[in-house]
Copies of this chain bind each other. A is one copy, B any other.
Amino acid sequence: MTDAAYPTSPRSRARRYPDRATYDEAQVHAVLDAGLLAHVGYVIDGQPFVTPTAYWREGRRLYWHGSAASRMIRAQAEGLPVCVTVSHLDGLIAARSAFVHSIQYRSVMAFGRARRVEGLDAQRAALAALVDRLYPGRTGEVRPPTDNELKQTSIIEMEIEEAAAKVKSGGVARIEADDAWDAWSGVIPIATVVGERIADAVQSAGTPVSPSLGLYLEGARLDRVLSAAASGRVEV
């Protein structure tokens, strides 16, 4: 935990429920490191697009990748403003009044400019960072990308200029008018979890799992697996 915080401006500052928002770097990174899929927003000719994509973080930079031929990648190659949002749904809050129903969540909105990572060596390093971020040590287990494979893929990087995390936990808000009602109220927790591994029938039937996948145990929470992998821990 540090005292570092992201800069804010009217663009990133939370207006509604400012008590749920934080710009603290450690808390922003904790939400980012618990996720795998980001929703990247960008604008082409005034039209907003939101593309779901795998992402990863290094320091104050976010990365994602895609086909070199895709619309998103071509648009984002040269400094396009983007908003990268990552969310975790943690629970449903069922209340005794329609109005008090809510959800528990953690989210980050990060703002910056997208740029393409140039050069095969830089691309190679970035792709290795993605694979090892998800599966620690996996680049040592698998075939490295060829130059031709790297040329088919583009990596986008974004320096986080501003970011805000928003977290809502807790339970049912108490409203006096609800006391006279008797519907069950409380929290229904929601979690994203790892299922039972399915070995490739041709390549890996009956073979032991690679060490790099050791965190992905059946029943483990994905956010905890990803956080552990990001911080180099070997246990969830």
Interface size (A, Cβ < 8 Å)? Answer: 97
Contact A198–B187 (Cβ < 8 Å): yes
A residues apposed to B, CB below 8 Å: 11, 15-16, 36-37, 39-43, 46-52, 54, 66-67, 69-71, 81-85, 87, 89, 91-92, 94-99, 101, 103, 105, 107, 109, 111, 127-128, 131, 134-135, 138-139, 141-146, 149, 153, 171-172, 174, 177-200, 202-204, 207-210, 212-213, 216, 222
- 15 further interface pairs, Cβ-Cβ under 8 Å (given A52-B105, A188-B213): A40-B50, A47-B81, A49-B109, A50-B85, A89-B192, A97-B144, A98-B144, A99-B149, A141-B181, A178-B203, A184-B210, A184-B213, A188-B194, A188-B195, A189-B194
Q: Closest Cβ of chain B: how far from A200's Cβ, in Å?
A: 4
Contact B48–A42 (Cβ < 8 Å): yes
Contact B185–A203 (Cβ < 8 Å): yes
Contacting residue for A172 out of B48, B51, B71, B200, CB 8 A: B200
Contact B134–A92 (Cβ < 8 Å): yes
Copies of this protein in the assembly total 2
Residues of B within 8 A of A98 (CB): 127-128, 131, 138-139, 142-145
* Complex Cα–Cα for A212 and B149 (A): 51
* Complex Cα–Cα for A70 and B20 (A): 14
* A-B residue pairs in contact (CB < 8 Å), sample of 23: A39-B50, A43-B43, A48-B48, A48-B81, A49-B83, A49-B109, A50-B50, A50-B109, A97-B142, A97-B144, A98-B144, A99-B143, A143-B177, A146-B177, A171-B198, A183-B212, A184-B210, A185-B203, A186-B197, A188-B194, A189-B198, A190-B194, A190-B222
Residues of B within 8 A of A139 (CB): 98
